[in-house]
């Protein structure tokens, strides 16, 4: 079973965080939530979540993937945290999946892992990706380049999480989860 680390910073986007954790757990992936703060962490819209561990007690070698939810000021809090940047860089250098959504691809840019990589971000922040050598794509809700997975924002959280489920638990599992949560119907209807 794959094991992933999801960062939790004050001001996180609740839809993104919840979709990632929920869908990956439905897919049988072990999800560990690492808080930048030791107690309850408050999201951008007032939802409070208790992390499983403190970020200081995390070792990249224990995980197959590291995921950064966005939200404002959540993604700014992630990118200002030196430990987050170090863990992202270590994960990338260890050939693990490194993923981010909304404004959080700026974290990957700041960690230096986007050089030459196709990626996406919340519209209007593309320059932040270019600063780190990324190649921003405006098309596509989810962009995968090797082990880097990025997405645009709250409404793309389900496709993003399903892509991560596919990568970490297999296509059949991701399709099963997609049907269970009716995303197959919702995503078809929205196209």
State the catalytic residues.
102
- Euclidean distance between CA atoms 169 and 24, whole angstroms: 9
Extract the runs of DSSP E, i.e. beta strands, from 36-131.
41-42, 48-49, 53-54, 65-68, 97-101, 118-119
- Euclidean distance between CA atoms 110 and 108, whole angstroms: 5
- Euclidean distance between CA atoms 127 and 8, whole angstroms: 24
- Residue 177's contacts (CB-CB under 8 Å, 6 or more residues apart) are 23, 26, 27, 162, 165, 183
Q: Please name which of 83, 89, 69 lies closest in space to residue 19, comparing C-alpha atoms.
A: 69
Burial of 37 (0-12, 13-18, 19+ CB in 10 A): middle
DSSP 94: T
């Amino acid at each position: 079973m794959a094991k992933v680390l999801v960062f939790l910073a004050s001001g996180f986007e609740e839809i993104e965080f919840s979709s990632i954790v929920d869908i990956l757990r439905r897919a049988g992936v072990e999800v560990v939530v690492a808080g930048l703060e030791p107690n309850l962490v408050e999201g951008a819209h007032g939802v409070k979540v208790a992390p499983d561990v403190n970020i200081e007690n995390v070792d990249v070698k224990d995980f197959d993937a590291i995921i950064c939810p966005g939200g404002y000021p959540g993604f700014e809090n992630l990118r200002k945290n030196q430990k987050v940047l170090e863990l992202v860089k270590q994960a990338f250098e260890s050939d693990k999946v490194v993923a981010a959504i909304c404004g959080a691809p700026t974290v990957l840019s700041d960690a230096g892992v986007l050089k030459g990589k196709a990626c996406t971000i919340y519209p209007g922040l593309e320059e932040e990706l270019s600063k780190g050598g990324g190649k921003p794509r405006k098309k596509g809700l989810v962009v995968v380049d090797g082990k880097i997975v990025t997405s645009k924002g709250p409404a793309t959280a389900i496709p993003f999480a399903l892509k991560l489920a596919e990568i970490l638990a297999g296509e059949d599992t991701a399709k099963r989860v997609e049907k269970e949560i009716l995303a197959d119907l919702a995503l078809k209807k929205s196209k």
